[in-house]
Structure 1
């Protein structure tokens, strides 16, 4: 019996050795079939993936996660990303803002709730969350433009506050958990942070700017607000200090209010202070927080606007039956150059929305909600084939944006 057991053990050991040898041979064959890929080549492949696929790919393995999370990859991805328009639509359980032009959409399960996620990280009371649950909830979506067509895509997240500003893929949202507060978040990565409450002011008497200081690499939030007698003050929050500080606002006294959202370009934030018959811009340099007035090349009217285009600040204005696009490359000297004069396909109700970051094409919106694009290569205006779902609930929430992996 003893001898038989010994033979059995020897047989098992031999079997294990054979299996190990077989596995080693198989692994060597696989290595021959699938050669080693250098991380630069992997990075070059990953950066060309659609955004949703890229988000999933980062969790395939640790080396891929490190590549996708690296600052170099994030900057490269940002530079390759095209402009989109981010907007809000109400969910189907009812809305004070509902109208036939803004059809309700059903609320899907497993949607990321901005306020619920923020509530879980804060000390806000449960009664505050119950109050929020009774408010109108919005679905955040974006529309992208490719080859003359538009496509609506969801972020699969909900929010209650409005979008106030955007920069490099980050957005500013109203924080409904704290009156006057803000949330900064990336809707792609869903990373978010609550900002300290600043000066409380009525929404129609304030404006926010959001920009990157290219010298320090820090993001800044600029809050302009109007006091009781009509003067404009300014406070600024830096991402590094995370606190508001007052600064000298526009030293132009009682000059009315801001008819347009701020635009970040040429190292500054820019506002159009009047919606009609305006001859200048108000600009604040991001590096030193100094305000300037910048004369416009033509008097601005209600359908005119400013956009960022190819790194420059551009003024888009209706001139007779044409639309002219003027470019400003620097605040030094404030010299405007006429880049385009568009005559064909132009209507008097075309409002500029944004310029595409990669192609340079300019997107316009008409009174009937149709979208038109000015192709800078062919210099032709054409109507875009629109997705029927493109019905933002607020015009002011139609914000130029870029989907990125950038963090606050």
Structure 2
């Protein structure tokens, strides 16, 4: 009897040991299965993330530390910038006559919420102004920062969920320079997507109609060029390296006068370009970006009132209205090169069509008519078509539409190289 009981106990112990062993084997097998999940190299993850929309990308950076490091790396920011299509950025009054309705001629009415980024609130933070001492800002004077996309034959307006009081002076690589209305003559630089913002040192103060600003990418980061008409009616110039503490005075153009400062300069082929006057001009005033030297570039033909210079694929482009309702497209590939006439548009052209921009990834050009109608010409299909635009979209009160790209670019990543800039 005792022998049988002992044998039963041995069998039970053996069964328990086998069950324990099986459990251990199952656990190890499960662990192996988990460990066998394919490893995605960093480059592969980056290649996936770069295809996300910008709003999703902003959220994705907080998923984990590796993703944060990837998205914030200079290489990723650079690649994202070069994949971004051009848009039109503009300011729209926060409160309008039609604010009773959900929509108006400029798209959905902007409604401030707790997540709205205020340029002025950030300025108060930078200047350490206590909340109790901050002046009350009249909401009727605020502008919402918005952008417009042309796609599929129509326009759509999108929000950046940000407000400001000042006007946009210039834009480059997703960065904006805006007037600080809280202090006369002061400017702020910001990225409306990442909400990074900083104050710029005071420069020479002139009325807006007598000056021109241009933000450009240079070897050591970004710099702001300021041209202004002085008391002698000649053009003065000063340059600010973004991150620096003072402006550098440089010699302005010694030839001719810029007779219309409202015409935005164009950045292309390593230089900034201004038309000396809007109508009947024979040349451009050009400033090379890295050495701040001015020179004169002859246009291939005398410009007319609705002609424009533009940037296309890194080259400088001159869009000119010809006789017989034709529009010619001229390209300059290098500063010391020769203009080449590469195309003539002979379909649907009228004299009041003003060229406004070339998209990045489609061989098209967009025009605006005097009644604010928008047209696009497809060079491959040789077809001009009218774009669906909501009534009143062009123009928006005192706002200026400016070619822009939404990006993750920051000027601060270049600060380690700032000492190389001659001030």
Relative to the length of structure 2, the TM-score reads 0.83
Deviations along 1:180-227, one digit per CA (max 9) or x if unpaired, are 1111111111111110010011111110011111xx232110000112
Of 391-400 and 377-386, more deviation after overlay is shown by 391-400
Cα displacement (A) at 1:312? 0.4
Q: 2:82 aligns with which of 79, 83, 94?
A: 79
* Structure 2 counterpart of 1:356: 359
- The size of the alignment, in residue pairs, is 385
* CA RMSD between the two structures: 2.7
- How far apart in 1 are the matches of 2:120 and 2:327? 42
Q: 1:109 aligns with which of 109, 113, 116?
A: 113
* Structure 2 counterpart of 1:190: 195
* Long gaps (5+) in structure 1: 1-17
* Structure 1 counterpart of 2:282: 279
| C-alpha contact (below 8 Å) 1:102/1:392 kept by paired residues | no
Q: How does 1:165-176 map to 2 (within 5 A)?
A: 165-176=170-181
Q: Secondary structure at 1:52's aligned position in 2?
A: helix
| C-alpha contact (below 8 Å) 1:324/1:340 kept by paired residues | yes
Of 85-94 and 322-331, more deviation after overlay is shown by 85-94
- How far apart in 2 are the matches of 1:259 and 1:300? 16
- How far apart in 1 are the matches of 2:341 and 2:134? 52
Q: How does 1:238-387 map to 2 (within 5 A)?
A: 238-252=241-255, 254=257, 256-320=259-323, 321-333=325-337, 335-387=338-390
Deviations along 1:73-126, one digit per CA (max 9) or x if unpaired, are 11111111111111111011679xxxx976893432121111111211114687
| C-alpha contact (below 8 Å) 2:110/2:144 kept by paired residues | no
Deviations along 1:231-273, one digit per CA (max 9) or x if unpaired, are 1100000125342011101112555333410111000011112
Cα displacement (A) at 1:70? 0.7
Deviations along 1:19-50, one digit per CA (max 9) or x if unpaired, are 99987765544444x42211111111110111
Q: Secondary structure at 1:397's aligned position in 2?
A: coil
Q: Secondary structure at 2:264's aligned position in 1?
A: coil
* Structure 1 counterpart of 2:143: 138
* Structure 2 counterpart of 1:10: none
* Structure 2 counterpart of 1:15: none
- Say which one has the larger Rg: 2
Label 1:319 to 1:29 Cα distance change in 2 as closer, same or farther (>3 A).
same
Cα displacement (A) at 1:385? 2.5
| C-alpha contact (below 8 Å) 1:210/1:221 kept by paired residues | yes
* Long gaps (5+) in structure 2: 1-21, 99-103, 412-423
Q: Secondary structure at 1:297's aligned position in 2?
A: coil
Cα displacement (A) at 1:282? 0.8
Q: 1:121 aligns with which of 126, 148, 159?
A: 126
| C-alpha contact (below 8 Å) 1:259/1:274 kept by paired residues | no
Label 1:114 to 1:26 Cα distance change in 2 as closer, same or farther (>3 A).
farther
Relative to the length of structure 1, the TM-score reads 0.86
The answer to whether 1:181 aligns with 2:186 is yes
Q: Secondary structure at 1:234's aligned position in 2?
A: strand
Q: 2:163 aligns with which of 158, 161, 165?
A: 158
- How far apart in 1 are the matches of 2:152 and 2:223? 35
- How far apart in 2 are the matches of 1:225 and 1:151? 36
Label 1:233 to 1:127 Cα distance change in 2 as closer, same or farther (>3 A).
farther
The answer to whether 1:70 aligns with 2:62 is no
Of 201-210 and 250-259, more deviation after overlay is shown by 250-259
Cα displacement (A) at 1:397? 1.6
Q: Secondary structure at 2:361's aligned position in 1?
A: coil
